[in-house]
């Protein structure tokens, strides 16, 4: 693996600031070491709960590539909250609003089926939210990689649960610098 000393690491999980299962505890407990190792280049990305950001989230003004990525999504009608998770290590967090655009969701599902053979037509609300979140994740990662002022355009993405993984087929098909490597 190449040197990642200047790359950005985005960890994408449904349970960032959202205690619903075991991944929450895993992410929370490793946050101090991840922040120690990666500093401000480590960012957690999760969905924003329906009532707005949770109590353990403190809003902060974004800067650098994250500010650019958040603005890019805002221009597309997607709201992303930037702040810190109020746990040990105080990692940077991005929370994506879960206001699903039905037309866009249909396009995303069609693309997943047509291009990758992934059938998401069930209409199940949990699947719909996961597909929406994963597409927002994909867009945010792509926007972060396009930040021209960054010293290193590489963005590494880690998905510790299945809810963000539908974000991986589309960039992989492109085979460009944003293409994920599966090992």
Q: Quick check: 177 pLDDT over 70?
A: no
Does 67 map to a domain?
A: yes
Does 142 map to a domain?
A: yes
* CATH number of the domain to which 56 belongs: 3.40.50.2000
Q: Quick check: 142 pLDDT over 70?
A: yes
| Exposed/middle/buried for residue 176 (C-beta within 10 Å: 0-12, 13-18, 19+) | exposed
Instruction: Give residue-wise pLDDT tens across range 37-71.
Output: 999 899 999 999 887 888 899 999 998 888 989 99
State the average pLDDT for the chain: 82
Take residue 30 and report the two structure tokens written for it: 């490793």
pLDDT at 91: 96
Mean pLDDT over 128-135 rounds to 87
pLDDT at 42: 94
CA–CA separation, 136 and 77 (whole Å)? 11
Whether the CB-CB separation of 3 and 134 falls below 8 Å is answered with no
Mean pLDDT over 2-23 rounds to 82
Does 41 map to a domain?
A: yes
Mean pLDDT over 102-128 rounds to 82
The conformational region for residue 88 under phi > 0 = left, psi -120 to 50 = alpha, else beta, is: beta
Does 179 map to a domain?
A: no
CA–CA separation, 169 and 162 (whole Å)? 13
| pTM (2 d.p.) | 0.83
Q: Quick check: 175 pLDDT over 90?
A: no
- 23-51 as b/e, with b when 16 or more CB fall inside 10 Å? bbeebbeebeebbeebeebbbbbbbbeee
| Tally of domains in the chain | 1
pLDDT at 163: 67
Whether the CB-CB separation of 48 and 96 falls below 8 Å is answered with yes
More confident residue, 161 or 60: 60
Q: Quick check: 1 pLDDT over 90?
A: no
Q: Tell me the residue range of the domain where 163 lies.
A: 8-100+130-174
pLDDT at 11: 93
Does 46 map to a domain?
A: yes
pLDDT at 58: 95
pLDDT at 159: 83
Geometric angle at alpha carbon 39, from 176 and 179, rounded to 5°: 10
Name the most confidently modeled range: 12-21, 57-66, 128-137.
57-66
Does 56 map to a domain?
A: yes
Q: What is the pLDDT confidence band of residue 162, given thresholds at 50, 70 and 90?
A: low
Coil vs helix vs strand at 11: strand
């Amino acid at each position: 693996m190449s040197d990642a000393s200047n790359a950005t690491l985005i960890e994408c999980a449904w349970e960032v600031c959202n205690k619903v299962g075991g991944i929450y505890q895993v992410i929370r407990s490793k946050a101090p070491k991840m922040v120690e190792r990666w500093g401000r280049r480590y960012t957690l990305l999760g969905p924003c709960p329906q009532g707005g950001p949770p109590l353990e989230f403190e809003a902060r003004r974004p800067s650098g590539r994250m500010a650019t990525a958040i603005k890019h999504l805002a221009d597309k009608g997607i709201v992303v909250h930037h702040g810190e998770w109020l746990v040990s290590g105080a990692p940077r967090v991005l929370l994506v609003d879960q206001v699903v655009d039905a037309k866009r969701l249909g396009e995303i599902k069609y693309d997943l089926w047509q291009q990758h053979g992934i059938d998401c037509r069930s209409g199940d609300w949990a699947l719909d939210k996961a597909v929406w979140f994963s597409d927002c994740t994909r867009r945010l990662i792509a926007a972060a990689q396009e930040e021209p002022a960054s010293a290193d355009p590489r963005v590494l993405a880690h998905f510790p649960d299945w809810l963000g993984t539908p974000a991986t087929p589309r960039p992989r098909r492109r085979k460009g610098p944003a293409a994920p490597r599966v090992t």
